[in-house]
Structures are given as C-alpha cells and as structure tokens.
Amino acid sequence: MGIESGSETQNDPLAEIPKSRWERLWPVMACGAGLFSDGYINNVIGSVSTMLGKIYGTEYTGSSSQKNISAITFAGTVLGQLVFGYTSDKWSRSNSLLLSTVILIVFAALGAGSYGAGGSIQGMFAALTAYRFLVGIGIGGEYPAGSVACSEASGELKSGTRNRWFILFTNVMIDWGFVIGAFVPYLLVVICTEQHLRAAWRISLGLGVIPPLLLLWLRIKLQEPEEFKKESMKYVKIPYWLVIKYYWKRLLAVSAIWFLYDFSTYSFGIFSSTILTNVMPADAPLSQSFGWNTVINLFYVPGAMLGSLFSDWVGPRYALAGGVLAQAVVGFIMAGLYPHLAKPENVAGFAVVYGIFLSLGEVGPGDNIGLVASKTCATGVRGQYYAIAAAMGKIGAFVGTYIFPYIEKAGGSNTNASAQYPFYVSSSFCVLMAFIVLFCLPHIGQDTITKEDIDFRHYLEAQGWDVRQLGLVQGETVDSRASAQAAQVEAITEKKE
C-alpha cells in the first residue's frame, strides 16, 4: 500500500486551470446531486410499505413482498454500482452518469404505475418489486460515475474547501432525499386522508421522477473531469494484479466501514416509521407517525452540513472516527434509557435523542466514507475501486434490512428488549468502525487526488509498467503521442525564435 504524507503539495495543477468559480463548481453539483434520488427512493419505501400494509393487511404483511419491496432496491444498486464502476473507468464518466439518470427516470415512473395482470394484488407486488430492482440499477450508477466525477471536479476548487463541497453535493443531497422521502408521504396522507392511501403511495413513488429530470439538462452538458483526461486507462489494458497488490488492504478497510455503516443507517431509516409506531399510542393516526418520522429525518441534515466543515478542518479520517465514537456513546445511552424514552408521553424526547443518534452518523461515516473511497485510489481505476466499496455498503444495507426484524424479534415478548437490541448492535459497530479508520486508513489531504495519481505512477514505473499509456485517447499510441508532443515543442521553439 502506498504511504501518504500529511503535507500538501506546493504545486496544485488542477487549481491552476483557468476557469471561473461557476465553471469549477457546477460540475461538482451536476455530478453529485443525483444522490438525492438515492435518499428519496430508499427512504420513501418505508412509508409506502406502511401504507401498503394498511391497505392490503395480511395479503401484504403475510407475504414475502413486504421484505422484497423494501430490500430489493439494494440488490439492483449493487449490480448498478459494479457495472457502472467499470464503464466509468473504461467508457466515460459523463456518459455513464447520463445513462444512469435515464434509468432512474424510466423505472421510478413505472414503479408508481405498478399493476398486476388482471388486477392481481400479488401481481402488482411482483411488478413493484421488479421496478424497484431496476430503479436500483440507476441509483447504483450514481455512485461510481457521479461521486467519483464529483470528487475529481472538486480538485479544481480552492484548497481548504474541497471536502465540504464534495459532501454538500453528495451526502447532504442523500440526506435531503431522506427528509423529503419522509415528508412527502406525510403530506399526502394528510391531503388524501387514510381513506385514499392507494393514491398516496403511488404519488409518493411517482414524485421520485422529478429530481433526475431536473438534473438531466445539466448532465447532458457535462465534460470529462480534467484529472480523468490525464490519468485514465480507457484505451489500455488495466494491470489488475498490480492494482490489487497496491490497494487491496485499503479497499478492504473502506469496504468494511461502508458495510457496517449502511447496515445500520439504512435499516434505521427504512424502519423508523415502524419504530415510531411502537412508541406512539395505538390509536394514533398514520399522519402523526409519518410526521414524527419527518422530524427524525430532519436531524440528518444539520449533522451532514456541520460535518462537511468539520471534514475540512480536521480531515476525513479524524472526522469519520470522531463521528462514529460520539454516535456509539449516544446509542448505548439510548439503549439503556429506552424503557423511559419509549413511553407515549415521551415521544418528543425519543425523536430528539434518536435524531441526534442519526445526526452523529452523518458527521462521521455519512459525510466521509464516500470522500475516503473516492480519494484513496488513483484516477485510472477509481470508478471500480469506489464501486466495490460502495457495493459492499449496499450489501450491508441489504443484509441489514433483512436482519433488522430478526434482531428486534430476539427480544421475544419483551418490547423494550426488542427495541434496545438494534441500538446495541449499531453502537458496537460504531466502535469497530472507529478502530478500522484509525489503524487502517491513510491520511487524506486537500490534494490527495493529485498526490495519489503521482504515487501510483511511481509504483507502476517501479513494476515495469509503461506510464506513458495513461491518458491515451482513442486511436492514439505512445509513439504517436510522443511524436505529436515533439512536434508541438518544436513549433513553440520556432515561434519563440
């Protein structure tokens, strides 16, 4: 594994490219903001599932559909991440992102219109499950294509602010997606009332089409990031064995952190309305449960926004470790005090403490895991490296949504124990994440992307790989490039003379 020093390089070629502030900033926004769809589509399904249970009763809750509809998106996301991770390195960052946007639009719309043959209820559940899987593929493309391009574009911004801009247009967007994904069902239940939940759940899913539609125009105009143009391996055979030898330990650490984080955060997000139902009066209306769910999800945003500044101040590594340790403390306290917090008259206190627990998760891994994954690998294989780490995260989310109900059931008839166990498990994971971060991850500075490419070049040279192949364009060879460069130098010399 390459060793990174804590010092910043004096020469920052990406920051010296002659561009206006807006020219530097809008690609960061266009590449990263699509992750809003990830937050919205994954969080809204929790409330939609609750509505489906109210409408269809045991026909829904007694079948495998309840688990499948909530969790199948993660399977599609994993496939999308791996496929688009490869295409973003070997085809195009911008084109991969555009394709994933189109997939999001099409299958978010189809999901809202799910229909079973002959009006079959189980057929409708099967159709919704299939569309949720396919929309997951589009979400998956947002990670390696969007976040990786976003991190590379952020390298052109002012040093000292790069982490916050990356976070504001990636994780903060996911968190706003969580908030809106909780608020929209609440609003629709209030408007439609509980007598018209069929309209409410379909509109909730259908509104997921709007965010990618708004981004489509910006993404059509996107160019490849400057760093990708210089360091890509699009038209050469990637030396995978050398890449694995250099990065395997680092990739394993990043993947483990992402797995543990998503195991907890997506499970808590999807089941938060269910958790709230357990602490609220039995006769409480559905809109009240959804309303408190929105309040809880709002806590994601301040944690993420403050965490973006914290990441620039102390660096992603220490921000990540500090965030998860603080979350572990709150989680253990919450588990211990749950019998008191769970009383119906204390639902406001429960929502606040639970919200702080989620907020601290954003200060730490929520904000910084994507940053770490996108900046600890060289540009030529960054899409695939990021895709594997992110896919491990979604596998964690997939596993978590299936296991979460069993962790609750482990408490048996003791309702307090059933609610305490998930917090004990999640807080223990937080301690493990902090250990991995502090002992397995390198320093990550403002110029890490540029420095990582330099270090990887040196490593490849030492292994006998011809680094002149990096950045070759279609139809170009090392010799033809050398000839063109020699002719260019000669023309400049003649002009000076």
pLDDT of residue 464: 95
Q: Which two tokens stand for residue 141?
A: 């493309």
- Per the domain annotation, does 492 fall within a domain? no
Q: How far apart are CA 405 and CA 339, in angstroms?
A: 19
- Per the domain annotation, does 481 fall within a domain? no
Q: How far apart are CA 376 and CA 4, in angstroms?
A: 10
DSSP assignment, residue 143?
I
* Confidence label for 267 from pLDDT (cuts 50, 70 and 90): low
State the maximum Cα–Cα separation within the chain, in Å, rounded to a whole number. 90
Number of domains in the chain: 1
- Per the domain annotation, does 487 fall within a domain? no
Per-residue pLDDT reduced to its tens digit, 158-201: 888 999 999 999 999 999 998 999 899 999 999 999 899 999 99
- Residue 177: CB atoms within 10 A of its CB come to 26
Residue 1 near residue 250 (C-beta atoms within 8 A): yes
Mean pLDDT of 206-210: 94
Per-residue pLDDT reduced to its tens digit, 100-116: 999 999 999 999 999 98
Q: How far apart are CA 251 and CA 223, in angstroms?
A: 28
Q: What angle do CA 180, 184, 189 make, to 5 degrees?
A: 155
Sequence-distant (≥ 6) Cβ neighbours of residue 289 within 8 angstroms: 50, 273, 276, 277, 280
* Confidence label for 9 from pLDDT (cuts 50, 70 and 90): very low
* Confidence label for 17 from pLDDT (cuts 50, 70 and 90): low
- Per the domain annotation, does 385 fall within a domain? yes
Average pLDDT of the chain?
86
pLDDT of residue 340: 81
Residue 76 near residue 133 (C-beta atoms within 8 A): yes
CATH of residue 177: 1.20.1250.20
- Per the domain annotation, does 482 fall within a domain? no
Domain residue limits at 265: 21-472
End-to-end CA distance of the chain: 47
Range among 390-399, 456-465, 471-480, 488-497 rated most confident = 456-465
